[in-house]
Amino acid sequence: MQLSHFDPALFLRDYWQKKPLLIRNPWGEWRNPLEPDELAGLACEEGVESRLITLGDDRLAMESGPLPETRFGQLGALPWTLLVQAVDHHVPQVAALIDPFRFVPNWRIDDVMVSYATDGGGVGAHFDQYDVFLVQGLGRRRWQVGALCDSTTPLLPHDDLRLLADFVPEQEWILEPGDILYVPPRIAHHGVAVGDDCMTYSIGFRAPSRAELVEHWSETLVDAMPDEDRYADPDLARQANPGEIAPAAIDRLHALVTEALADRAAFARWFGQYSSSPKYPDTDWRPEEPMEAGDVAAMLAEGAALCRNPASRFSFVRQGDGLLLFVDGECFDCAGDVAALVETLCAQDHVSVDPSDAGLALLAMLVNQGSLAFEEEV
């Protein structure tokens, strides 16, 4: 699935994290990959993150899933919206929507949220901290975009939703099936279904905050630090006023912190594991029976297709003559032909090479941790 008449290089230069862009149906022949009833079924399942947003008395209310199957029959004529996160983890046809946007690195991709709305349904005017491509799948939706927001932008009082107190639209479009609207981070936007059976696929991207990185990287370092790694001043000299924290002490204390944080190689290894960790770690994708390297080789020889689990995140960092592979929070040191295999794994959904013994051993490990599977098992 590719986007026709779309130039990724031009988009990245002129629009990415800069300004919204409306892309009228670039798919050629658009086919909605998921039926509304299937989406509702997912919202009823344990382990699937979902929300139901209803409009009544000019106020939005939110319920978290899993939802009872009877809930949808109780909604009546008032506008409502169903939101289901990470549908790409469960529906291969939805996961395929990410492929045309792979010009953005793998580690930046979050998931595909799918929404269904009745006439007038929406989630209110808001802004997000991440980039998003809004693909209209079924029906029509009116989108309005406004100004750039930040942490000082006034919000309405609401226990569950971050709604803008004063949204002023600057641009407006009605999206038809197959149309795409790109919205950069912190741009105010508001979408409302025009008619019933409105489905939108939100392909979202992650952007870790500085606070998040400092917090989690520091926690990892602290866990590995011995108790005797402390401040020391064997050359201490008497100072004029014992109440002063001297410049030399500040320099040493500051270095004690910053030198620990400044190990770039250690940070790269940590970030690869951190950013590839499963979004829903309680979900177990491992096979019922572990596979040996020979089992993998036999199935590949028979023509079985080995493909990535859509819930798994694959990325790598180059290191010397080899690279570090990160999958589902695990790190694998790879060199030689295994490194070449890893590059293929990270760039493509299917394994289409003849791996060496070392490559087969890696594939078996990835199968056994649920990151890869033969196609009929995914």
**pLDDT for residue 121:** 96
Is 60 inside a domain boundary? yes
In this prediction, residues 331-344 reach a mean pLDDT of 94
Q: Is the pLDDT of residue 14 over 90?
A: yes
Q: Is the pLDDT of residue 378 over 60?
A: no
In this prediction, residues 254-267 reach a mean pLDDT of 95
Q: How confident is the model at residue 284 (pLDDT cuts 50, 70, 90)?
A: confident
Q: Is the distance from CB of 346 to CB of 314 less than 8 angstroms?
A: yes
Could you read off the pLDDT of 127-171 as tens digits, one per residue? 999 999 999 999 999 999 999 999 999 999 998 999 999 999 999
**Helix ranges (DSSP H) in 245-374:** 247-261, 264-276, 293-301, 336-347, 357-368
Same domain, 168 and 23: yes
Same domain, 81 and 57: yes
Could you read off the pLDDT of 70-125 as tens digits, one per residue? 999 999 889 999 999 999 999 999 999 999 999 999 999 999 999 999 999 999 99
Same domain, 256 and 335: no
Same domain, 159 and 24: yes
Same domain, 144 and 171: yes
Could you read off the pLDDT of 115-135 as tens digits, one per residue? 999 999 999 999 999 999 999
Q: How confident is the model at residue 353 (pLDDT cuts 50, 70, 90)?
A: confident
In this prediction, residues 336-351 reach a mean pLDDT of 90
SS3 87: helix
Q: Is the pLDDT of residue 376 over 70?
A: no
Same domain, 143 and 217: no
Crossing angle of helices 293-301/357-368, nearest 10°?
A: 100
Same domain, 17 and 157: yes
Domain count across the chain: 3
Instruction: Identify any residues that bridge with 52 across adjacent strands, giving them in sequence order.
Output: 63, 82
Same domain, 118 and 84: yes
Domain that holds residue 337: 293-377
Same domain, 17 and 136: yes
**pLDDT for residue 334:** 96
Is 288 inside a domain boundary? no
DSSP string, 15-75: TTTT--EEE---SSS----S-HHHHHHHHTSTT--EEEEEEETTEEEEEESSPPGGGGGG-
Is 366 inside a domain boundary? yes
Same domain, 165 and 90: yes
Q: Is the pLDDT of residue 231 over 90?
A: yes
The mean of the pLDDT values for the chain is 94
Is 268 inside a domain boundary? no
Neighbours of 3 (CB within 10 A): 18
Same domain, 29 and 150: yes
Same domain, 89 and 178: yes
Is 216 inside a domain boundary? yes
Per-residue CA distances from 133 to 35, 160, 241, 296 (Å): 20, 24, 61, 37
**pLDDT for residue 169:** 97
Q: Is the pLDDT of residue 183 over 70?
A: yes
What CA–CA distance (Å, rounded) separates 73 from 55? 16
In this prediction, residues 311-324 reach a mean pLDDT of 94
Could you read off the pLDDT of 22-41 as tens digits, one per residue? 999 999 889 999 999 999 99
CATH of the domain at 335: 3.40.366.30
Is 191 inside a domain boundary? yes
What CA–CA distance (Å, rounded) separates 335 from 19? 41
Is 77 inside a domain boundary? yes
In this prediction, residues 203-208 reach a mean pLDDT of 96
Is 281 inside a domain boundary? no
Q: Is the pLDDT of residue 277 over 50?
A: yes
CATH of the domain at 89: 2.60.120.650
